[in-house]
Amino acid sequence: MARPCSDPAVRANEAREREKDGVFKPGVRGAASSLWKVVNWLGISASTKKIIEHDGVSAMRHLVEKRGFEVGFLLGVFVIDMQHDTTPFACFGWNRGPVFGGKQDMHPIRAGDRFFALPLDGKVLLGDEPLERGESIRPSSILLRGSLYGGSKVKAQRAPLSITAAIVAATLGADASRAEESSAMLSLKAMQEIAQVEAEIDRIETQTIERLAVPPDNQVQQIELLGKLMLYDKQLSVNRNEACAFCHMPEMGFTGPVSELNRTTGSYPGSVRTRFSNRKPQSHAYAPLAPMLHYNPGQGDLVGGNFWDMRATGRRLGNPAAEQAQGPPTNPVEMGLPDIACAVYRASQRPYRAMFESVWGMQAFAIAWPGVVEQVCARPGPPSAGEPMPVHLSSLDRGRVGATFDQMAQSIANYEASAEVTNFTSKFDAVLAGKAKFTAEEQAGYDLFRGKAQCNACHRDGGPGEDPLFTDFTASNIGMPANPRLPYYRENRPDALGYAANTAASSYIDGGVGDFLTHKHLLSQPSTVDARWLGLAPQNHARIQVPALRNVDKRPYPAFVKAYGHNGYFTSLKAIVHFYNTRDVLPRCQPHDVGEGTTCWPAPESTDNMNTSRVGRLGLSEVEEDAIVSFLQTLTDGFMPVNQH
């Protein structure tokens, strides 16, 4: 039985348990410790966590006094009788506003109390269920109660989001208001979905690690297995909380797996959860089939590469997908490591090390790591300009790091090229093989795709010697509007580490391939620009790589929202087909126009090099638009079984 709040043994137990992980104390110091636990999920740096742990009171006072927040019931702080992991909570306490200025009360938990639980094992589980009499909750949970409000009160069920915003704001000090805006992008629904995705990533990783006990006896399959293990390994991010797969899950065609983010922010948060990318995640299925980036004089165009801006050229490793895999680990708004050496160091500590050495050689991790490598690799990038490689290594070890990082990337690309990812099992493939037939609407859509709608001019369905990948690997500016929902526009002021991803703020314009060629506004640059291409920059400004359309409609359930376009502006296939058809027919929208996307369109983000010959005035009826959507749905893999050959 849980002891009453007034029991002296409970109070004495506080001091005894102060150093134990997962134990929260009553009082102001307990509130600070609880804050420290919550920000662990948010990806706040260790140095900032230290400030919160020891000076959480000042941080919260700053939030109130300097930022004008009024805080009611802010944060539950509880005492537990630590005998085993399922001991019921005895007490629940909170500070009454203004923060730390009112009386602090401790109250027993009663049956029927409503609560929010946040387990702190790397996953977030938010609930709003009554506490049953005698029910036990893990001691590693935080109870949140009440709401943060400024001006008007937020409903109780919004408390976790509001408190999360407050915690981020408190940790970022002078930039509290921007932090609140960024964290507010993670709605309660988004956080719930993120928790589900993270749990699924952990499940897949565990299942894949088990295969190491009886590994394949074929080297190609061993490399594919290594690639999969690294794709699902969140330890390869700065805060050990984000795997590559966080943006590329199979049920969605290896693109963004969080419906609520696709619907709202378009882009995804990185390992530092307050940093968002400037673009939506691309699918990495079929990406290994892209040619190396090259200039085709007959077309007068650049062809190939990976990434929306083609910056993974493949010219160094002979494989654009491998060079693409080298971008996210050190991208400050993605996995956030400060040095490629950190990715190699983290991989050297993982269960797949022995297989990696068996495949790529014992020299792969034979590196003399400095004693401070853990601390260096725990600090989010980017590194300072004066120290671009903060992990200090000998020239020999630096060479080994580079070679091993290349081999990690090649392993990932090999997995992406495997039949598990790139498998040509759609209904379209079945029709080509004579194993299925299109419906009348699908056939009509395919005819329009190849004819009146002109889709096939860029999204090629194959030809002599070509796989039907539904891209020509060139780039185009289709005149897409900017996506004002991108949190990236608000990442213009330095965060707690002094990093601002987008100093241009709302005036930022995505220059696409042109920005890559001129080294402008790149968050990562895995491939070097061929100096002979510099003169092509003006004609490529604002152009974005033509994406492959395979799996364009793959989703786990019908209501799942997918984002389309490089910035995620569109949230349905119908919407983007309608845009292609009517961009230059419908009038420009007025601010906050309710007809946006149906009876009007916003202005293009950029009109530079805009495609006016095949986009904007196609003359399609609504029935014809629907038919094209129906055809595009036949490109979803899984219609036929995977052929492992």
Give start and end residues of each alpha helix (H) in 43-143.
46-67
Complete domains list, the chain, with CATH:
8-184 (no CATH), 205-255+265-416 (1.10.760.10)
Tell the residue number behind the tokens 């995977």, with chain if given. Answer: 642
Q: What are phi and psi of 302, to 5 degrees?
A: -80, 140
Where is average pLDDT lowest: 60-64, 439-443, 447-451, 483-487? 60-64
Q: Please give the residue that has the higher pLDDT: either 21 or 233.
A: 233
Q: Are 343 and 337 in contact (CB under 8 A)?
A: yes
User: Read out DSSP for 343-384?
Assistant: HHHHHHTSTTHHHHHHHH-GGGG-----TTHHHHHTS-SPPP
pLDDT for 645 equals: 65
Q: Is the pLDDT of residue 105 over 60?
A: no
Q: Is the pLDDT of residue 125 over 70?
A: no
Q: Please give the residue that has the higher pLDDT: either 328 or 174.
A: 328
pLDDT for 27 equals: 34
pLDDT for 90 equals: 30
Chain mean pLDDT for the chain: 78
C-alpha to C-alpha distance for 254 and 256, rounded to whole angstroms:
7
192-202, pLDDT tens digit by residue?
899 999 999 99
Where is average pLDDT lowest: 125-139, 175-189, 316-330? 125-139
pLDDT-based confidence at residue 307 (cuts at 50, 70, 90): very high
Q: Is the pLDDT of residue 415 over 60?
A: yes
Return left, alpha or beta for 499; rule: phi > 0 is left, psi -120 to 50 is alpha, else beta. beta
Type of residue found at 252: M
pLDDT-based confidence at residue 488 (cuts at 50, 70, 90): very high
pLDDT-based confidence at residue 268 (cuts at 50, 70, 90): very high
pLDDT-based confidence at residue 530 (cuts at 50, 70, 90): very high
Q: Is the pLDDT of residue 153 over 60?
A: no
C-alpha to C-alpha distance for 360 and 568, rounded to whole angstroms:
38
Residue 278's nearest CA partner among 287, 264, 265 is 265
DSSP assignment letter at 289 = G
Where is average pLDDT lowest: 25-34, 146-155, 265-274, 456-465? 146-155
Q: What percent of the chain has pLDDT over 70?
A: 71
Q: Please give the residue that has the higher pLDDT: either 176 or 427.
A: 427
Tell me what the mean pLDDT of segment 551-579 comes to. 98
Where is average pLDDT lowest: 140-154, 512-526, 576-590? 140-154
**CA 225 to chain CA mean position, Å:** 23
Q: What are phi and psi of 107, to 5 degrees?
A: -130, 145
Residue 548's nearest CA partner among 347, 285, 368, 268 is 285
Q: What are phi and psi of 276, to 5 degrees?
A: -115, 150
pLDDT-based confidence at residue 425 (cuts at 50, 70, 90): very high
For the record, the structure tokens of 645 come out as 């050959």
C-alpha to C-alpha distance for 516 and 518, rounded to whole angstroms:
5
Tell me what the mean pLDDT of segment 193-221 comes to. 95
Tell me what the mean pLDDT of segment 18-45 comes to. 36
C-alpha to C-alpha distance for 203 and 197, rounded to whole angstroms:
10
342-386, pLDDT tens digit by residue?
999 999 999 999 999 999 999 999 999 999 999 999 999 999 999
pLDDT for 521 equals: 81
pLDDT for 426 equals: 98
pLDDT for 22 equals: 35
pLDDT-based confidence at residue 78 (cuts at 50, 70, 90): very low
Q: Is the pLDDT of residue 231 over 90?
A: yes
pLDDT for 644 equals: 67
Residue 246's nearest CA partner among 258, 262, 238, 261 is 258
Q: Is the pLDDT of residue 456 over 80?
A: yes
C-alpha to C-alpha distance for 551 and 636, rounded to whole angstroms:
4
396-414, pLDDT tens digit by residue?
999 999 999 999 999 999 9
Tell me what the mean pLDDT of segment 435-461 comes to. 97
331-345, pLDDT tens digit by residue?
999 999 999 999 999
Q: Is this prediction's pTM over 0.85?
A: no
User: Read out DSSP for 200-225?
Assistant: HHHHHHHHHHHGGGS--SSHHHHHHH
Tell me what the mean pLDDT of segment 520-538 comes to. 92
Where is average pLDDT lowest: 34-48, 113-127, 417-431, 631-645? 113-127
Tell me what the mean pLDDT of segment 111-128 comes to. 33
Residue 230's nearest CA partner among 400, 379, 362, 410 is 410
Where is average pLDDT lowest: 37-41, 257-261, 440-444, 519-523? 37-41
Q: Is the pLDDT of residue 152 over 90?
A: no
Q: Are 334 and 524 in contact (CB under 8 A)?
A: yes
pLDDT-based confidence at residue 185 (cuts at 50, 70, 90): low
pLDDT for 40 equals: 40
C-alpha to C-alpha distance for 548 and 345, rounded to whole angstroms:
34
Among 51-55, 144-148, 174-178, 633-637, the range of highest mean pLDDT: 633-637
Q: What percent of the chain has pLDDT over 90?
A: 67
Peptide bond into 382 cis (omega under 30): yes
Number of helical (H) and strand (E) elements in the chain, helices listed first: 19, 10
User: Read out DSSP for 546-606?
Assistant: PPP-TTTT--SSTT----BSTT--B-SHHHHHHHHHHTTTSPBPPTT-TTBTTTBBPPPS-
